[in-house]
Structure 1
Amino acid sequence: MTANGPFRYTSPAPPKSATGTVADAYAQMRSDFGIDNPATFVVLSDAPTILTAAWALMRESLLVGATSRTEKELVAAGVSLANRCPFCIDAHTVLLHATGDHRLAETVGRDDVPADPYQARLLAWGKDVRTPKPFPAARTPAYLGTALAFHFINRIVSSLVTENMLPGNVQRFRVVRSLAGRTVAGAVRRELSPGDSLALLDDTLVDDVLVAEPSWAAGTPVGTAYAALLTAACAGAGLLSEDDQELVSKTVAAWDGSHPEPTGGWLPDRSERPGARLALLAALAPYRITDEDVAAWRRPEHRDHCLVHLIAYGAITAVARIEGQSV
C-alpha cells in the first residue's frame, strides 16, 4: 500500500508539476469547482484521457445549466450513499452546505429523508436510478449525467483514495462541514458556460464519440462527455486476457444492482485471475479492494497508469450497466 497522502495504491505527480491538458484541467477545476486539485481527479492524472473525460462529465452535468445545483447535489449524494462511499458522502454534504441549505445538508449526511417531498424523491432516485424519474424529461441530461458521473467517481475513490475527505477526518464535525461549504459557496453559485470542458478532451475521443453519444443526452455536452469517458475507460480492457474480459462482462451483465456477498462464485480467486478480480471489485464492490488484491496483480511492468486504467475499466463496466437499466 502506498502511503502518499490521500492515495492508496498510486503516487500521482504533484499537481504543481502538471503540464499540458492535465494542468489546464486542474485550472478549470479550481475556477469552476472551487476546489484546488481535488483528490478525486488527481488520482486519475496518470491517465489523462480518463481524467479529462471524467471531469467533463461531472462539470457539464453537475456544475453547468439552469437546473438547481441543490437538486443535482441530492442526486449525487443519493448515488454516493447507495455506493457506500464515505468520502463522497462527506463531499456532497459540504457542497449542500455551500448551496446555503444547511439543514438539508445535515439531513442528507445522516442518510435521513428530506422534509420536502420532491427533494426526498430526488435523493431516493439517486440511490436507484432504475426507478421512475421524478423530474421532467428535459432534465435527464443533467440529472442522469450527474448520477452516472458519480457512479464512476465513487468507484474510483473507493478503490484508490482513502475515506477521509479532509486531513484528520475533521469533516466529521458539523462546524467544519459548514465552514468548508462556505469556502466554495461562490463557485457553487456561479453561472458557467456549457461545453467549456470539451476542449480538454483528447481529439481521438471526440472523433469516436460523434457516433456514440447516448440517446438521453444526444447533441449535448453531457452526451459528448459521457461517450468520451466510456471510450477512455474501456481502454483498460486491454490489460486483461479475452477470457478475463468475458468473465467481467458476463458477471456485470448479470448484476442486479445490489451489493454482492463478500465471497461467492462471482469473484475469482486472486491467485488465479487477479486482474479480473480487481476489475470486478472495482465494478461491484470497490470498498472491498485490499492490499493483497492489488499486490497479486501488480508486476514490474504494471505502473500506476496501468492500475488506474484497470480500475477505470471495472468502474465504467458497471456504469454502462446502470446506464442501460435507467433509460
Structure 2
Amino acid sequence: MSLFTRVAGRIALPHIGRVTPVEPSSATGLVGQVYRQVERDFGMLAPPVALHSPAPPVLAAAWTMLRETLLVTGTVPRATKEAVAAAVSAANACPYCVEIHGAALTGLGGGPDAQAIAAGRLDDVADPRLRAIARWARDPVLGAAAPFPAAQLPELGGVAVVFHYINRMVSVFLRPSPLPPLPAFTRRGTLWVAGRMMGAFARREASPGTSLDLLPPAPVPPDLAWAGQTRIADAFARAGAAVEEAAVPVVPERIRYLLLTRLSEWDGSPPGVSASWADAALAGVPDDEVAVGRLVLLTAQSAYQVGDRAVGAFRDRDPRDASLVAAVSWAALTAARCIGARLPDGAPAV
C-alpha cells in the first residue's frame, strides 16, 4: 500500500456518518479482500465504497457493481463513463459524487466540458457526442433513446444504474462534499489537484472480472436484460442476490411490496418538497414497520431527504450498523434496478 493510499484512507473515512466503517488496519476476511481491491484499482479507499463495510456482503456487492462498470477497461473510454457518473449524480442532487467524478473527468482531459457537466450546463458542452450522452444520463428514469451504439449499453447503462445506487447511499451516509469548507479560490485549486490525481488513477488498466469471485454466482433476473450476456450482467446478478439476502431479515415483505408498487408508477420526480410524503404513503402500515418503511421510501425516491429522524427511528427498532446499511442498500438498489429495467435490451457481448 502506498503512502498516499494510507494517508488518503485516514482522511476519507471521517467523511462517513451514521455508521462506523471498518478501519483498514483491522479489515479481515471479505472486507479485507474488498479493501485491497479498492486501494489497488481506485487508488484509495473510497468512502462511497467503505461506508458499506459494516455489512461485508453488501460491501462486496457495491464494489463489484462499481468496479465492473466504471473502472474496468472496456470499449467505452473512461472519460465518457465519468461524464455519465457526473451527469447522473447531478440529476440525483448528489454534490459529493458530482465533485468527485467531475474532478476525475477534468483530470482525464475533460476541461470546460467537465465543468459544464458537473454544473448541469449541458448546453455548454462543446463535444456533441459527450453532450448527448450527458443529456441521456441526466434523465431521471433513463427513458430517452440511448445516443450510442447498442454494444456500449452494458457499460454505459451499467455506470448509470450503479450511480443511481451509489448516489442514494452517499446521500444517506456521507457529508455533502469531499472537501472541507474552503474559500472559493482554494476550493478550485484543491479540486484541480484532486482531478490530476484521480485522472492519473483513472488511466490505470483494470482487468475485467476480478471482483466477481467475491460473491457466489446468481441467476440473471429479467430486469437486467439491458446488460445482455455480459460479465456486467453477472456482476449485477451476484450483487443483487447479496443485497436481497442481507435485507430479508431487515425489510418486511409489506414494505418491499409497497416500494416496488410505487416505483412501478414513478416518473423520477421528487414526491414532495418535504419528507412528509413518506408518512402519507405509510398510512395503514403496522406501527412496528413504519420506521423501516419510511427509511426505505425516502432512500429510494428522495435520498437527500433522509434525515436524523428517519435514521434514528430505524435505529430505535434495530440499532445495528449492518442492518441500517442493508436496509438503505436494498432500497437504493431496488430503485436503481427499476430505473435500469426501462433501458432497452443489451447486446449479447462478452
Structure 2-normalised TM-score? Answer: 0.85
Question: 1:195 matched to which residue of 2?
Answer: 209
- The DSSP-based 3-state class of the residue aligned with 1:98 is helix
Unaligned runs of 5+ in 2: 1-12, 345-350
Query: Equivalent residue for 1:38?
Result: 46
Query: Do the aligned partners of residues 112 and 301 (structure 1) sit closer, same or farther apart at CA in structure 2, a change above 3 Å counting?
Result: closer
Give how far 1:169 is off: 5.9
Cα shift at 1:199: 2.1
Query: How many Å apart are 1:271 and its aligned residue?
Result: 10
- Residue 264 of structure 2 corresponds to 253
Task: Give the distance between the partners of 1:242 and 1:61, measured in 2 at CA.
Answer: 30
**Over aligned residue pairs, what C-alpha RMSD do you find?**
2.2
The answer to which of 293-302 and 48-57 deviates more is 293-302
**CA separation of 1:297/1:271 partners in 2, compared to 1, >3 Å: closer, same or farther?**
farther
Residue segments in structure 1 that go unaligned for 5+ positions in a row: none
Q: Is the 8 A contact 2:69 2:158 kept in 1?
A: yes
Change (3 A) 1:301 1:116: closer
Q: Match for residue 80 of structure 2? A: 71
Q: What percent of counterpart residues are identical?
A: 34
Q: Which amino acid aligns with 1:320?
A: R
- Structure 1 length-normalised TM: 0.90
> How far 1:105 moved relative to its partner?
2.1
Mapping for residues 204-283 of structure 1, pairs under 5 Å: 206=217, 208-209=218-219, 214-235=224-245, 236-261=247-272, 262=274, 263-264=276-277, 267-268=281-282, 272=287, 273-283=290-300
Please identify, of 265-274 and 43-52, the stretch whose mean Cα deviation from structure 2 is larger: 265-274
**How far is the alpha carbon of 1:197 from its aligned partner?**
1.4
Which one of the candidate residues 151, 159, 172 is aligned to 1:146?
159
Partners of 1:73 and 1:92 within 8 A in 2:
yes
Name which of 160, 170, 175 aligns with 2:173.
160
Given the alignment, which residue of 48, 53, 57 partners 2:56? Answer: 48
**Contact in 2 for aligned 1:234/1:312 (Cα 8 Å):** no
1:7 aligns with 2:21: no
- Asked if the contact 1:61–1:143 (Cα under 8 Å) also holds between the matched residues in 2, the reply is yes
* Distance in 1 separating the partners of 2:255 and 2:68: 33
Q: Count matched residues.
A: 319
Whether contact under 8 Å (2:105, 2:199) holds in the other structure is no
Q: Report the Cα distance in structure 1 between the residues aligned to 2:294 and 2:193, rounded to whole angstroms.
A: 40
Per the TM alignment, residue 213 of structure 1 is displaced from its structure 2 partner at its CA by 8.4
The residue aligned with 2:5 is none
Using the alignment, how far apart are the partners of 1:164 and 1:118 within structure 2? 29
Contact 1:31 1:187 in 2 (8 A): no
Q: Which string of whole-angstrom CA distances, capped at 9 and with x for unpartnered residues, describes residues 11-62 of structure 1?
A: 112122111222222221122112x211101100011112112111111111
Deviation at 1:219, TM superposition (A): 3.2
**1:91 maps to which of 76, 81, 100:** 100
Matched to 1:56, the amino acid is T
Task: Give the partner amino acid of 1:290.
Answer: G
Are 1:105 and 2:114 an aligned pair? Answer: yes
* Counterpart amino acid of residue 282 in structure 1: T
What are the superposed Cα offsets for residues 44-101 of structure 1, whole Å, 9 maximum, x if unpaired? 0011112112111111111221311111111111110110001000011111122122
1:138, CA displacement in angstroms?
0.5
Quote how far apart the aligned CAs of 1:5 are.
2.2
Secondary structure, aligned partner of 2:211: helix
Specify the code of the residue in structure 2 equivalent to 1:188.
A
Question: Which AA in structure 2 matches 1:118?
Answer: R
What is the distance in 2 between the residues matched to 1:238 and 1:271? 17
